[in-house]
Amino acid sequence: MNNEQQVLDNVDKLEVMLRSEDELDPGQAQELKTLATGLPIRDVIAIVERCNAVRAALVLRLLPRRKAIEVFDAMDFAQQADVIDELGNAEVFEYFDALEPEDRVALLDELPVEIADRLLRSLNKPDRDITGVVLGYEKGSVGRRMSPEVPTLHPEMTAAAALAQLKETAQDLETIYTLPIVEADRRLVGVVSFREVFQAPDTTPLGELMREAVFATATDDAEEVARWFLPLDFLALPIVDASGRLVGLLAWDDAMDIQEEADNEDTARAGGTNPLHQPYLSTPLMKLVKSRIVWLLVLAVSALLTVQVLAMFEEALAAAVVLSLFIPLLTGTGGNTGNQAATTVTRALAMGDVRDRDLWGVLWRELRIGMVLGAVLGTVGFILATLVYDVKIGTVIGTTLFLVCTMSASVGGLMPLVAKKVGADPAVFSNPFISTFCDATGLIIYFLIAKSVLGI
Amino acid sequence: MNNEQQVLDNVDKLEVMLRSEDELDPGQAQELKTLATGLPIRDVIAIVERCNAVRAALVLRLLPRRKAIEVFDAMDFAQQADVIDELGNAEVFEYFDALEPEDRVALLDELPVEIADRLLRSLNKPDRDITGVVLGYEKGSVGRRMSPEVPTLHPEMTAAAALAQLKETAQDLETIYTLPIVEADRRLVGVVSFREVFQAPDTTPLGELMREAVFATATDDAEEVARWFLPLDFLALPIVDASGRLVGLLAWDDAMDIQEEADNEDTARAGGTNPLHQPYLSTPLMKLVKSRIVWLLVLAVSALLTVQVLAMFEEALAAAVVLSLFIPLLTGTGGNTGNQAATTVTRALAMGDVRDRDLWGVLWRELRIGMVLGAVLGTVGFILATLVYDVKIGTVIGTTLFLVCTMSASVGGLMPLVAKKVGADPAVFSNPFISTFCDATGLIIYFLIAKSVLGI
């Protein structure tokens, strides 16, 4: 307990030092070294993720080599790239060398070409070759994220022979817990978990233990593969080339990283920003501005549509100023209903619960949901507006709410699917765009009803 | 290739059958059985997740027992609960018995008390006892999600002895790949990966191989533990009681489920709905309505605030109808800016990149970001409005945009942190609420500026 409190205190101290804007004097550097070295690795990682590149590099330099490499390994690739700018060549080469081939490639993707080249050339021949295998696949493909270091086990091998071979070669492999079985030509024929081999009688051939392999092709989309592979709770997924030959394994932790990046992107886009690829506090301010300004401008320009719509009805507005009082309420409710539908469908799409071809099914569901929601809100709106104003205003507000909810839920549910159909990211077209669209359409509905009911 | 096409065709066929609203005749049931039995398990799971409880139960009944159990095991707990309603007692007992203790508990949490009791009583004594251990921890704690079945390995044991023991007891354990080491009193003293034991010389004692254990306490919050544990890429995390004794292991896949549920909740709340805990297409329509209606009503009622604000300025509106044209543009932009900040900070909070105590740091960042965004949008707004209307309107729009962006970004960034400080879910207070708040405040800013600039 006491010890735990000590750790928490030291975490605080270290964090305050690293986040301060002042230069550190040599005495502080010494204290920082003692603190960072003494803390559990997971606390050091959490702190480093939250500080800027200069300070992160400083921590790496002060830590014992092995711990420094572990911390570097745990950073996001974008932050690794930032930190590399701050480190000397020799250090960089060492960190780079210690990464798994697939993590090396992910880091290279974040770096300027000349630095990437220099790093690649710093590797020894076998490491460069194995990294080259991964680099050979397109960005976004599962081949680009797999580990190319796989065991070579054949169906006729006995359990004992397999265990002996694994014991010798294990240090070169990313995982030994999922064992793909291949023919002499490296064609994948099955898969067996280490646990099954470990528990089998010595003389049992692997061919008897293995089951049909679930696998992916190296050119498959990495996000899609991660989404269906992770719920199966397997530790690794064999990856094959176009002719079914084993080329690598996608480990669960790499699949999880892929899914997390995708979730981060979806969340960011749903909020109308570009994804950051980096922890919030260590992201430079102007990078945050850049991630938002374009969307904000695009949305503001599309909102000019609402100005146009209102200008069309300027006469009606002048005739009954009371109509303008309800504008934010009606557009807001439309936006909210649309967002609810869009959020639910976008997430369902990402999780694979809904697919492109479910378009009509989704529209039919959302149409009915929108009508129920609209009926409830419309009734409440009718009663309130009738009490405060009069029955005519009540009728306008009630009818508009009903129609706006029905329309917004349908559009909100449909948009992510349409986006996907035309090849765009469902999250891009989502919440803020739907709000703007529902604003404009809702206003038209509102004024048409108002004009006919009020006779203006 | 050909075979792959065959699988895709069969998936389609099966899906069409299961999603059709008509009764299935016996011939179709036979075809369904053949199709489902022949398909790879991951395709069957994907299809069953998308159909209603009656059809899901039908598929389970038609599949061979082992495959049916795997499919049931892979379902969401809420869907499992729905399906149980459709199955006979004997079948239910069998499925329930086949689950891991921690999955049993998660399913029990979804069921009415009397059914939960009946299921628990159907277990044999040892299974009931082990399930009882997990049931003893509070909902939301990591103890409730851990596997209580752990090996008993001591530091003085040799690698060979440990391997021999594991070989014998492996079938009772959820994982053998992460090995916690305990003293005679079950106090956790270290952890070693199976791989290290496997590769070590036979006579090496575990005490020499083990390293300091990263662990959690059973009463810790499950989501928090999952968030810090998963990025470490360990396969399992030892869980101890208050006095440091080993009580279980949290496996990576259970941690991933916890994180995914939390992400689903955050996404749902950010969109202004309650989380579904179930795939979209298999969720009954009225459950979807229920997940949205309360929020929508609450938001609509808070939007009455905007009606009040506008009513305050009714005179100004009557004097210059042109002012009402910009209402949706200004409130929309405020809402968008606020949402951008809120989304970014909420995600950063969930990922652990930002903590409660960063409140002032976040406010200071968002204030500056808001000012930059506001300066850009304000300038654009000033120019456009001056060109179309006149320089006075231009000044009103430009100044309002600047102030609204600054205010919205600050409020949007602050809200999730304030929510967390007062013990609420950061995602609840987020996007829709921030929009409504920014709408009302933005309108006040707008009319105050308009009144002073236009002199009305």
pLDDT in tens, A142-172: 999 999 889 989 999 999 999 999 988 877 7
Q: How many pairs of residues across A and B have Cβ atoms under 8 Å apart?
A: 304
Inter-residue long-range contacts of A29-35, CB under 8 Å, 24+ positions, other chains counted:
A29/A58, A29/A62, A32/A58, A32/A59, A32/A62, A33/A62, A33/A63, A35/A10
Q: Which residues contact B260 (CB under 8 A, 6 or more apart)?
A: none
Contact B40 A335 (CB under 8 A): no
Q: Which of B296, B368, B435 sits opposite A377 (nearest CB)?
A: B296
Q: Which of A42, A324, A384 sits opposite B317 (nearest CB)?
A: A324
- Among chain B residues, the shortest Cα distance to A43 is held by B228
Residue range A13-44, pLDDT digits in tens = 887 777 776 777 777 888 888 888 888 887 88
Minimal CA separation from A122 to chain B, in Å: 27
Contact B230 A256 (CB under 8 A): yes
Q: Which of A228, A281, A317 sits opposite B321 (nearest CB)?
A: A317
Contact B271 A270 (CB under 8 A): yes
Average pLDDT score over chain A: 87
- Among chain B residues, the shortest Cα distance to A40 is held by B214
- As a whole number of angstroms, the distance between CA A370 and CA B191 comes to 54
Q: What is the pLDDT of residue B395?
A: 96
Contact A279 B329 (CB under 8 A): no
Chain B CB contacts of A352 below 8 Å? 46
Minimal CA separation from A307 to chain B, in Å: 5
Q: Which of A296, A306, A373 sits opposite B373 (nearest CB)?
A: A296
Minimal CA separation from B287 to chain A, in Å: 10
Q: Which of A195, A224, A430 to mutate to test the interface with B (most CBs of B within 10 A)?
A: A195
Minimal CA separation from A423 to chain B, in Å: 21
Q: Which of A271, A332, A436 sits opposite B436 (nearest CB)?
A: A332
- As a whole number of angstroms, the distance between CA B435 and CA B426 comes to 15
Mean pLDDT check: name the lowest of A204-208, A335-339, B8-12: B8-12
Contact A324 B329 (CB under 8 A): no
Contact B289 A373 (CB under 8 A): yes
Chain A CB contacts of B232 below 8 Å? 42, 45, 74
Q: Is A315 exposed, middle or buried (0-12, 13-18, 19+ CB in 10 A)?
A: exposed
- Among chain B residues, the shortest Cα distance to A372 is held by B289
Residue range A275-306, pLDDT digits in tens = 877 788 878 888 888 888 888 888 888 888 88
Tokens of B190: 């270290």
Contact B381 A300 (CB under 8 A): yes
Mean pLDDT check: name the lowest of A55-64, A88-97, A330-339, A422-431: A422-431
- Among chain B residues, the shortest Cα distance to A71 is held by B232
Q: What is the pLDDT of residue A419?
A: 84
Tokens of A253: 């932790």
Contact A297 B376 (CB under 8 A): yes
- Among chain B residues, the shortest Cα distance to A337 is held by B296
Residue range B132-184, pLDDT digits in tens = 888 888 888 999 999 988 998 999 999 999 999 998 887 778 788 899 999 99
Reference B403, options B432, B378, B434, B366; nearest CA is: B378
Percent of chain A that is helix, strand, coil (3-state, to 5): 70, 5, 25
Minimal CA separation from A351 to chain B, in Å: 9
Chain A CB contacts of B279 below 8 Å? 348, 351, 353
Q: Which of A177, A280, A310 sits opposite B354 (nearest CB)?
A: A280
Task: Write down the ipTM of this complex.
Answer: 0.76
Contact B289 A343 (CB under 8 A): no
- Residue linked to tokens 């254990």: B213
- Among chain A residues, the shortest Cα distance to B234 is held by A253
Contact A228 B42 (CB under 8 A): yes
Minimal CA separation from A126 to chain B, in Å: 23
Q: What is the pLDDT of residue A1?
A: 40
Contact B380 A297 (CB under 8 A): yes
Backbone angles phi and psi of B40, in degrees to 5: -60, 145
Q: Which of A336, A339, A363 to mutate to test the interface with B (most CBs of B within 10 A)?
A: A336
Minimal CA separation from A301 to chain B, in Å: 9
Contact B288 A344 (CB under 8 A): yes
Q: Which of A292, A406, A443 to mutate to test the interface with B (most CBs of B within 10 A)?
A: A292
Tokens of B207: 């005490």
Low-confidence ranges of chain B (pLDDT < 70): 1-3, 21, 427-431
- As a whole number of angstroms, the distance between CA B84 and CA B97 comes to 13
Q: Which of B230, B329, B354 sits opposite A306 (nearest CB)?
A: B329
Minimal CA separation from A368 to chain B, in Å: 8
Q: Tell me the one-letter amino acid at A271.
A: G
- As a whole number of angstroms, the distance between CA A36 and CA A20 comes to 16
Contact B336 A235 (CB under 8 A): no
Q: Tell me the one-letter amino acid at B61.
A: R
Chain A CB contacts of B358 below 8 Å? 281
Flag whether pLDDT at A249 surpasses 50.
yes
Q: What is the pLDDT of residue B33?
A: 86
Which residue segments constitute the domains of chain A, with CATH numbers given? Answer: 2-139 (1.25.60.10), 159-261 (3.10.580.10), 284-454 (1.10.357.20)
- As a whole number of angstroms, the distance between CA A215 and CA A234 comes to 11
Q: Would you give the DSSP letter of residue A118? A: H
Contact B276 A344 (CB under 8 A): yes
SS (H, E, C) chain B: CHHHHHHHHHHHHHHHHHHCCCCCCHHHHHHHHHHHHHCCHHHHHHHHCCCCHHHHHHHHHHCCHHHHHHHHHHCCHHHHHHHHCCCCHHHHHHHHHHCCHHHHHHHHCCCCHHHHHHHHHHCCHHHHHHHHHHHCCCCCEHHHHCECCCCCECCCCEHHHHHHHHHHHHHHCCCCCEEEEECCCCEEEEEEEHHHHHHCCCCCEHHHHCECCCCEECCCEHHHHHHHHHHHCCCEEEEECCCCEEEEEEEHHHHHHHHHHHHHHHHHHHCCCCCCCCCHHHCCHHHHHHHHHHHHHHHHHHHHHHHHHHHHCHHHHHHCCHHHHCHHHHHHHHHHHHHHHHHHHHHHHHCCCCCHHHHHHHHHHHHHHHHHHHHHHHHHHHHHHHHHCCHHHHHHHHHHHHHHHHHHHHHHHHHHHHHHHCCCCCCCCCHHHHHHHHHHHHHHHHHHHHHHHHCC
Minimal CA separation from B58 to chain A, in Å: 19
Q: What is the pLDDT of residue A450?
A: 94
Provide the angle, in degrees to the nearest 10, between the axes of the packed helices B285-312 and B431-454: 20
Other Cβ atoms closer than 10 A to A285: 13
Q: What is the pLDDT of residue A367?
A: 95
Contact B198 A167 (CB under 8 A): yes
Contact A343 B253 (CB under 8 A): no
Residue range B303-326, pLDDT digits in tens = 888 888 999 999 898 888 899 999
